[in-house]
């Protein structure tokens, strides 16, 4: 009886708990990670079940559209009858036979990978939508409980940007109680921490911190405080004043159009590329095993992402001026060479050695070129 309960538990956790947990984990990430464990156990459990069902529905639609696009039967070993048969075996405290196991395990693992990947993607995308300025300002029902994020990061309506302006950082003046007297500090907010139980501020960290030094005539001067980060605990804070600093937003209609085209192409190409994992036969591509198909997909996805960043650099050079194309170019060359062993032309280690030699050769050329340019100035 105990073994039967364990099998059912594993089955339910795999299908109805893990997808929802992954979705919630990526939705409550970054500055909202403490909200992942907030709320009573039953509430979190119900949200996890609901999230898992949502992921299963979206994954089913994804597999359905992939089947229509490629006009092929996906995961042929998985069907309603197969799942029912395995579930009946577990219900009767039996395990699938070796023949049944080896007939379905590969497709079942691919199916689980797709569901879990969809959970991560939906959670990440939902977070991006929830913290967008429009949703934060006009759809408060989707706002996180960590209200400090919206005030500290300039995500409130009162953070007026003006025409052709965009948010840069937040400055603050903080009045604190110290040694029976009050002092005021000013600086840029670099980070903050909140209490996981009630979302109240625990401490705030400032950069370029200065202290207000008042003179006898009522005037004051700002005295710089040495150090990189200045921490102020919330229990000493009497008042906080926030100032949102904006910067000029470089907008070119043509660049913006190319930006959206680049991002849309990357999103569509990524979905099509990742969908090949669930297609048994890809025309003109013969892989010796699923492992090589997986490496092909991931390697191609990395190359696609690096090409996307190169286009970003040239579309908006002002925004990505700190990024250089040369490291991306070297990485693309390194990744392209990996197709030699992925398509089984040569072995992995020989290909890897060739990659390292070419990488060093190109890197040396770039270094010498940079030195020559610097010397000529």
Compute CA distances 337 → 10, 341, 354, 364, whole Å.
41, 8, 8, 18
Q: What is the pLDDT of residue 260?
A: 78
104 pLDDT above the threshold of 70: yes
Q: What is the pLDDT of residue 1?
A: 42
Architecture of domain 147-248: Roll (2.30)
Q: What is the pLDDT of residue 221?
A: 86
Q: According to DSSP H, which parts of the chain are helical? A: 2-12, 18-27, 41-70, 80-91, 98-130, 133-138, 147-152, 253-275, 290-315, 325-337, 339-342, 348-376
For strand 165-178 and strand 201-214, is the pairing parallel, antiparallel, or unpaired?
unpaired
Task: Name the residue ranges covered by the structural domains of the chain.
Answer: 2-130, 147-248, 253-376
C-alpha–C-alpha distance, residues 301 and 273, integer Å: 7
* pLDDT grade for 253, boundaries at 50, 70 and 90: low
Compute CA distances 321 → 80, 107, 310, 324, whole Å.
53, 45, 11, 7
C-alpha–C-alpha distance, residues 226 and 153, integer Å: 25
Q: What is the pLDDT of residue 108?
A: 79
351 pLDDT above the threshold of 60: yes
Task: State mean pLDDT over 42-50.
Answer: 91
| Residue in 131, 107, 158 with CA at minimum distance from that of residue 277 | 107
Q: What is the pLDDT of residue 369?
A: 66
Task: State mean pLDDT over 65-70.
Answer: 72
For the chain, percent of residues with pLDDT exceeding 70 = 79
Task: State mean pLDDT over 276-301.
Answer: 69
223 pLDDT above the threshold of 80: yes
DSSP 371: H
User: CA neighbours within 13 Å on the CB side: how many for 316?
Assistant: 16
DSSP 282: B
For the chain, percent of residues with pLDDT exceeding 90 = 13
Task: State mean pLDDT over 288-310.
Answer: 79
23 pLDDT above the threshold of 90: yes
319 pLDDT above the threshold of 80: no
pTM above 0.85, yes or no: no
Q: What is the pLDDT of residue 252?
A: 60
* Across 33-37, 67-71, 119-123, 218-222, least confident range: 67-71
Give me the residue label for tokens 């906080």. 240
C-alpha–C-alpha distance, residues 12 and 91, integer Å: 12
Average pLDDT, whole number, for the chain? 79
4 pLDDT above the threshold of 50: no
C-alpha–C-alpha distance, residues 254 and 364, integer Å: 36
DSSP assignment string, 1-46: -HHHHHHHHHHHIIIIIHHHHHHHHHHT-GGGGGGGG-S-HHHHHH
Q: Which residues contact 148 (CB under 8 A, 6 or more apart)?
A: 192, 194, 199, 201
| Residue in 30, 104, 114 with CA at minimum distance from that of residue 96 | 104
317 pLDDT above the threshold of 70: no
> By the 8 A CB rule, do 145 and 199 touch?
yes
Q: Which residue has the higher pLDDT, 362 or 370?
A: 362
């Amino acid at each position: 009886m105990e073994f039967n309960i364990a099998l059912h538990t594993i089955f339910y956790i795999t299908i109805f708990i893990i997808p929802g947990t992954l979705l919630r984990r990526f939705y409550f990430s970054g500055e909202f990670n403490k909200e992942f464990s907030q709320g009573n156990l039953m509430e979190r459990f119900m949200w996890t079940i609901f999230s898992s069902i949502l992921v299963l529905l979206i994954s089913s639609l994804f597999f359905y559209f992939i089947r229509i696009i490629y006009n092929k039967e996906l995961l042929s070993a998985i069907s309603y009858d197969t799942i029912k048969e395995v579930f009946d075996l577990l219900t009767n405290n039996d395990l699938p036979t070796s023949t049944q196991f080896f007939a379905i395990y590969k497709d079942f693992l691919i199916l689980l990978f797709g569901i879990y990947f969809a959970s991560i993607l939906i959670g990440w995308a939902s977070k991006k939508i929830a913290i967008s300025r429009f949703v934060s300002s006009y759809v408060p029902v989707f706002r996180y409980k960590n209200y400090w994020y919206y005030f500290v990061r300039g995500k409130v309506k009162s953070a007026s940007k003006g025409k052709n302006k965009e948010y840069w950082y937040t400055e603050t003046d903080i009045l604190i109680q110290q040694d029976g007297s009050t002092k005021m500090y000013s600086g840029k907010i670099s980070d903050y921490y909140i209490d996981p139980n009630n979302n109240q501020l625990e401490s705030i960290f400032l950069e370029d911190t200065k202290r207000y030094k008042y003179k006898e005539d009522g005037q004051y001067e700002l005295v710089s405080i040495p150090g990189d980060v200045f921490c102020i605990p919330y229990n000493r804070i009497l008042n906080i004043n926030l100032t949102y600093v904006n910067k000029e937003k470089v907008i070119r209609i043509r660049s913006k159009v190319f930006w959206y085209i680049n991002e849309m192409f990357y999103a569509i190409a990524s979905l099509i590329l990742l969908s090949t994992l669930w297609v048994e036969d890809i025309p003109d591509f013969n892989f010796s095993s699923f492992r090589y198909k997986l490496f092909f997909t991931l390697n191609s996805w990395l190359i696609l992402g690096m090409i996307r960043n190169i286009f970003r650099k040239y579309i908006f050079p002002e925004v990505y001026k700190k990024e250089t194309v040369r490291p991306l170019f070297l990485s693309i060359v390194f990744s392209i060479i990996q197709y030699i062993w992925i398509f089984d032309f040569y072995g992995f280690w020989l290909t890897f050695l060739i990659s390292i030699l070419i990488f060093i050769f190109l890197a040396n050329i770039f270094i010498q070129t940079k030195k020559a340019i610097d010397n000529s100035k």
